[in-house]
Structures are given as C-alpha cells and as structure tokens.
C-alpha cells in the first residue's frame, strides 16, 4: 500500500495498521560523514534518500504530531547506509510511504477505508465562554485538541474599562475562531457556557463577524473549561451535529457503557473472558477496544472483532490517549454494549 499522510488523524489511523515485522519504505534524511569530514571534525552533508526498514517498534504521539517507526534497514543505498543497521523514520504531515505486509487483514483494510472517509468529514469546533476565559475544543477523529484563552476583564465597578477589555477579549476569541476555520474544514461552531456570556459573545459575532455567527449554534451547559467541552459532546442536541466525529462518538459510547455498568443492567460488560462469551452468543451490539490494547493482543482481538462483525455488531477502536480511552483503559481496555443481558440469556 502506498499512503500519503495529510493530517494528524491519518497518523492515528496509521498507528493501528503498521505492525512489528512489516516493511516500511519512505524517504529519509541523514547526515553523511566522509573520512575527510571526520578527520576535520565536520558535521557532514545532509542527504535525502529512500530506505526500507523491517519494523521493530512504532510509537504515535499525538502531542508531537509525529509517528516514529524504528527498525532494521533492509534496502537502501549501501554507499550511504549499512544494510542491517537501525534507523528511525519520523512520519508526519506530508510524508508518503509504502507499507508491505505478508498479509493485509480485514481490520487493516477497514481502518484505511475509515481514514479515507474521515478525511472528507467536516470537523466541529466547541468554544466554552466565561468571563474573560475561553476554552476551545477542536473535535478531531483522533482526539480533541484543546486551546485556552484568558484575558483580565477587571472588576465590576470599573464599568467603562471593563467593557473595553471585554470587547477586546471577544475580538481575540473571534480571531482565534477565524484562524482555525482558515486551516480546518469546520462545519459548525458550538458556543457554550453556563451563564449569559455565550449570548453576549454570539451577539458580538453577529455584529462584527457575521460569517462566524452563521456557522455557530448555542448550547447551555453547567460546566466550565474542558469539562464543558465534554458536556457539550454528550448533549442530545449536539450529538446530531457531531455524530460523525470519532472522538466525540468515543466519549458518548464510553459514557453509555459506564451508565449501563453503573445501573447493573447487564448490558455493559468488560473483561476479555465475558466479552468472548457474549461474542460467541451473538449478543454484542458494540465492541469497544483501546488501540493500545489492540496492538498488544492483535491476533486474539482480530478474531474477536471478526466474530462480532459476523453477528452484525459494531467494532470501535478508541484512542487510548483521549478521555474516553483513559476511562476504557481503567476497565482493562476492552468492553462491550450488549443487545440483551447475558444472565438473562443463560437463564433461558
């Protein structure tokens, strides 16, 4: 497969496809020292060339927007690099690479197809507005990117100065929204907050940034900051807007799972043993697996996923670095929502 990385989400999808033992071929850059350079203590010349490595380790860090692939060199210009030496690729936006596998599994192909669909899907931008505080949540496939903006508004007795500073805060917030819209495919802006500031800010947009106002909807919430962003994603009104976005979907699915577990309804289970039993009975409606757990237990989980899909269930790989992934990892990294409680099935 030949793939081109277009954004951060592509890196996340790629991290679920490349395994130990795969061959990866791409261009790389190395500083090459000649004997003369070493004799004169020179740094050497940077050269760009194509290498193929047999993957030993791969690590995706959404914080640095880089996917590092380390392995043993199997093909490359032997005058520049030693066959059998170790090399690390830094895969990032704009990288083109080839992946060669002995076998492409259905899960690998499904993940690549999902990456193609995700590239065409619009994104949602949430902004939680308080007095002089704005928290932005860009809802990506791979994670939620948070940004904070804080400005000193001043005391309530400084009416004239306070109003001027508040207008400046609104302008800074609107400029940030405009900057994000200029580089991302944003379908809607959700302006949320616990008080009246969201209405005041929306009015400011209507008067000064009508283009932003047209893309925005309002949501009343009881939380602030990042908790407010996550509350917005769970709201029925906004679920329809963001139902296509993976990270938002992950939060909703894990929230639904924890609710069923909390109610002891029997419709939410976790632990591979119980999940395997439910899958064998065709009882799983939605299987949730953290991507890091999937990579550690790939063979076993691929068979389980195939069983669930064969019974017309859904399979969702969840980013372990996000809020939903952290909650799912606390349950062992795999869980399921059932069509019916297994204890009822056993009683029958």
Q: Which domains, from first to last, does the chain contain? A: 2-111 (2.30.30.870), 121-244 (3.30.420.60), 249-347 (3.30.1330.30)
pLDDT, average across residues 103-132: 87
CA distances from 223 to 16, 137, 196, 226, 324 (A): 34, 14, 13, 8, 18
Whether 47 has a pLDDT exceeding 50, the answer reads yes
How much is the pLDDT for 98?
97
Alpha carbons 21 and 18: distance in angstroms, whole number:
9
Q: Calculate mean pLDDT across residues 299-321.
A: 89
pLDDT at 242: 65
Rounded-to-10 torsion of CA 338, 339, 340, 341: 0
Average pLDDT taken over every residue of the chain: 87
The tokens for 43 are 């740094």
The dihedral built from the CA positions of residue 174, 180, 186 and 191, taken in this order, carries a sign that is: negative
pLDDT band at 40 (very low <50, low <70, confident <90, very high): low
The reported pLDDT for the residue numbered 126 is 95
Asked whether the whole model's pTM tops 0.85, one would answer: no
Q: What is the pLDDT of residues 313-345, one digit of tens each?
A: 999 989 888 889 999 999 999 999 999 997 654
> What's the longest Cα–Cα distance across the chain?
83
Distance CA 244, CA 106 (A): 22
Q: Which residues of 291-323 are buried (b: 16+ CB within 10 A; e: fewer)?
A: bbbbbeebeebbebbebbbeeebebbbbbbbbb
pLDDT at 255: 93
Instruction: Give the single-character DSSP code of 311.
Output: T
pLDDT-based confidence at residue 347 (cuts at 50, 70, 90):
very low
Taking the CB of residue 55, how many other CB atoms lie within 10 A of it?
Answer: 18
The torsion of the CA quartet 172, 177, 182, 186, rounded to 10 degrees, works out to 180
What percentage of the chain carries pLDDT values higher than 90?
53
Name the nearest CA neighbour of 131 among 146, 147, 150, 148: 150
Percent of the chain with pLDDT over 70: 90
């Amino acid at each position: 497969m030949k793939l081109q990385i277009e954004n951060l989400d592509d890196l996340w999808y790629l991290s679920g496809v490349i395994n130990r033992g795969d061959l990866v071929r791409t261009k790389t850059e190395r500083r090459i020292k000649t004997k003369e350079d070493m004799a004169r203590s020179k740094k050497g010349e940077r050269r760009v060339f194509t290498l193929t490595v047999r993957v030993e380790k791969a690590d995706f860090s959404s914080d640095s927007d880089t996917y590092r692939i380390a392995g043993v060199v199997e093909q490359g210009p032997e005058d520049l690099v030693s066959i059998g030496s170790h090399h690390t690729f830094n895969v990032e936006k704009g990288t083109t690479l080839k992946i060669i596998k002995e076998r492409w599994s259905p899960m690998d192909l499904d993940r690549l197809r999902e990456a193609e669909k995700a590239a065409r899907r619009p994104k949602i931008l949430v902004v939680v507005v308080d007095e002089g505080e704005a928290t932005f949540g860009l809802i990506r496939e791979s994670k939620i990117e948070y940004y904070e903006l804080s400005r000193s508004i001043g005391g309530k007795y400084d009416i004239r100065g306070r109003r001027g500073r508040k207008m400046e805060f609104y302008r800074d917030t609107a400029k940030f929204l405009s900057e994000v819209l200029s580089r991302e495919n944003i379908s809607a802006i959700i302006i949320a907050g616990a008080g009246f500031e969201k209405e005041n800010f929306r009015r400011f947009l209507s008067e000064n940034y009508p283009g932003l106002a047209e893309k925005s909807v309002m949501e009343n919430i009881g939380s602030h900051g990042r908790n407010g962003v996550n509350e917005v994603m769970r709201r029925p009104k906004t679920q329809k807007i963001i139902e296509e976005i993976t990270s938002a979907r992950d939060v909703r699915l894990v929230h639904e799972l924890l609710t069923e577990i909390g109610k002891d309804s029997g419709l939410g289970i976790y632990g591979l043993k119980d999940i395997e039993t439910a899958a064998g009975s065709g009882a799983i409606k939605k299987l949730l697996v953290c991507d890091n757990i999937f990579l550690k237990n790939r063979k076993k989980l691929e068979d389980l996923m195939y069983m669930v899909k064969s019974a017309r269930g859904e399979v969702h790989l969840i980013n372990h670095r996000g809020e939903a992934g952290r909650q799912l990892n606390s349950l062992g990294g795999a869980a399921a929502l059932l069509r019916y409680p297994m204890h009822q099935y056993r009683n029958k």
